[in-house]
Amino acid sequence: MSSHALQHTSPWWVFLTVAAYLIGRVVEHQTHRKALAQPVVIGIVFVGFVLAFNHVDPSEYQARTQLISFWLGPATVALAVPIHRQLDKLRAYLLPALAAISCGGLVSIIVAIVAVRTFGGDEQLARTMAPKAVTTPVSIALAQIYGGVPSLTATFTIMAGILGAVCGHSVFRLLRIQDPRIRGLAMGAASHGIGTSRSLRQSETEGAFAGLSMGISALATTFLLPVGFWIAGMR
């Protein structure tokens, strides 16, 4: 992010974003936490309508709300807190968790690359899709490092998060996975912060494990991404 962009921060668009989020929280509460009623989904739709109605370019809006996106970075650092709190209880569970998150991370990277290529996407699209499971500041940085399109990676990242928040628990019910620790691990690894915030509302244990998983996953994917490219035959 350039410091230049912050000078363009618009109080109106920042306010609109916060208001859209609050409306999302209210709707989530009113609908008794229906899976689709995620504050981020409602917020995006609401802001999208306001932008379309006023003929405002989305990239213009993004530049003027950097003040909000900025906090994704410190929020990633903040993940150290749930990890720190669970570390004592987790010592015994840390190895299975590490194994599961690393395996899952690698599978997610390779399936992303292979699926993009199989269904006719080019190499750049594969490099853009590959890091999409981890939290936005990390996936954007990884796209930059490994030749993807960062802003498109951010979009895919959000979509993966929304998938988790909306469909994650249906998948768990279908597979009869009830252990909140395992649900949390899977959610944090596949759907980063958006999935984690869904888990946090489900139960404290699931939320803590999701936060832990999202942190480890961001760390693991950073090192696994080149391995994934190598296995998928992309140097």
> 155-174: which residues touch other proteins (CB under 8 A)?
155-164, 168, 171-172
* 59 scored as a contact of other proteins (CB under 8 A): yes
Does residue number 77 form part of the binding site for other proteins (CB under 8 A)? yes
Exactly one of 15, 30, 58, 147 binds other proteins (CB under 8 A); that residue is 58
Residue 182 touching other proteins (CB under 8 A): yes
Residues 205-234 that bind other proteins (CB under 8 A): 207-208, 211, 213, 215, 218-219, 222, 226
Residues 2-41 that bind other proteins (CB under 8 A): 17-18, 20-21, 24, 38-40
The answer to the question of residue 43 lying near other proteins (CB under 8 A) is yes
Binders of other proteins among 97-156, rule CB under 8 A? 97, 99-101, 103-105, 107-109, 111-112, 115-121, 125-126, 129, 132-133, 136-138, 141-142, 145, 151-152, 154-156
Per CB under 8 A, the list member of 33, 84, 89, 173 interacting with other proteins is 84
> How many other β-carbons are positioned within 10 Å of the β-carbon of residue 30?
10
Stretch that binds other proteins, among 2-10, 29-37, 83-91 (CB under 8 A): 83-91
Select from 96, 147, 170, 173 the one that contacts other proteins (CB under 8 A). 96
83 binds other proteins (CB under 8 A): yes
CB atoms within 10 A of CB 103: 13
The reply on whether position 66 binds other proteins by CB under 8 A is yes
